[in-house]
Amino acid sequence: MKVKILSLLMFLTLCLGSFGQTRPRLVGGNPAGQLFPSVFLFSELRKNFTDYFCTASKISPTQFLTSAHCVLLSDSKGWYFPETAKPGRRYFYSFERDLSQPVTVFSATIKQVNIHPLLHRCLQKGKYFPAQCKPTGVPSPDIAVVTVEQEAGPFADAPALPLDFTPNKPGDDIIMLGYGLQGNGDILPPLLKYSFSKVATPEALSEVVKGTLAEHEGMPNEGLFFGTLGSLVDPSFPNLGSGDSGGPVLKDNPYRIVGVNSNAGCPEDAPSDCEKTTNSFFARIDSKATISVAEWLKSIVHH
């Protein structure tokens, strides 16, 4: 998710047990090093590059996957496409794992920013799906595919991750990735981290998000998100924070994308460090999602 907007995502399951206690945590957790070479940080800013960023993953020779809220902006009237997301403009990016030192920032020319057609209609004030069209909360489906021009640079050289549209089940092992919040509550400097978790049941998520924005928006039950439980449930459970938005949720053997980091479930009056311990939600890409996300993705992703 976008540093500016969201405390990111990821939820870790009820069912972690010793699995969760022996694996690294994302917040304050395990640096990715040279693992996951398809994952990178991107921003609409060249100057002050890391002031406003999201995580993303390459999914085809000229496309990357991220959260819709990473490419949109919002005001009191709702979400909208900013000028910085228009064709011909540029996104700035880095595949460096640790941005505590100066790095070379590369750019990619935007050819097209794709969001789901139903969400696009919502931006045009269509009231087909009230949960999406309200001006607050996370846009749904919270997924964007950005197509860029073919240009030399690290993006062209990086491998692409495949998409897996198989529905996730409670208890499934997942890997969470993102450049966001560190264990001390700081977002900067960005550091790509990863952690292992398990998918939580909708019932468990519904119970732990009572009184939060996630409950208000119906995230556990609307069929567009899946989640994990954070360290308020168990200190050994990992969770993500601001800056992790848009990062991929993976399964391994082999690595493939099964979701996208979306949003955290902090109470409205929560302290600013809530995202260090909260439960989190991922946008579903599977074939059983309430809205047909899988078929849309298959129709626009180039191979």
User: Looking at residue 7, what is its pLDDT?
Assistant: 34
Give the per-residue pLDDT at 155: 98
Tens of pLDDT, residues 178-213: 998 665 556 678 899 998 889 999 888 888 777 776
Task: Specify if 5 maps to a domain.
Answer: no
Which has more confidence, 38 or 25? 38
pLDDT number for residue 185: 57
Number of domains the chain contains: 1
Report yes or no on 1 lying in a domain: no
- Whether residue 13 is contained in a domain is answered as no
Cα 15 from Cα 236, distance rounded (Å) = 12
Q: Which domain holds residue 285?
A: 18-300
CA gap 212, 72 in Å, rounded: 23
Alpha-carbon radius of gyration of the chain: 17
**pLDDT-based confidence at residue 36 (cuts at 50, 70, 90):** very high
Asked, for residue 115, whether it belongs to a domain, the answer is yes
Question: For the chain, what is the largest distance between any 2 Cα atoms, rounded to a whole number of angstroms?
Answer: 49
Q: Name residue 146's beta-bridge partners.
A: 64, 113
Q: Does residue 89 form part of some domain? A: yes
Distance CA 236, CA 228 (A): 13
* 65-87 core/surface letters (b: 16 or more CB in 10 A; e: else): bbbbbbbbbeeeebbeeeeebee
Give the percent of the chain with pLDDT over 90: 44
Provide the mean pLDDT of the chain.
80
User: Does this model's pTM top 0.75?
Assistant: yes
**What are 87-135's pLDDT values in tens digits?**
999 999 999 999 988 899 999 999 999 999 888 887 776 444 445 565 5
The Cα-based distances of 182 to 28, 66, 176, 239, 273 in angstroms read: 5, 20, 14, 11, 11
8 inside domain: no
H-helix segments, 127-219: 130-133, 154-157, 202-208, 213-216
Q: Which residues pair with 75 in a beta bridge?
A: 78
Task: Examine the pLDDT at 149 and tell me if it is beyond 60.
Answer: yes
Distance between CA atoms of residues 14 and 30, nearest Å: 21
pLDDT of 133 reads 60
pLDDT value at 68 more than 60 = yes
Residue 265 resides in a domain? yes
Assigned domain for 10 exists: no
What CATH number corresponds to the domain at position 282?
2.40.10.10
Query: Does position 294 have pLDDT exceeding 90, yes or no?
Result: yes
CA separation for the pair 133, 140 (Å, rounded): 9
Tens digit of each residue's pLDDT (9 = 90 or more) over 136-148: 567 788 999 999 9
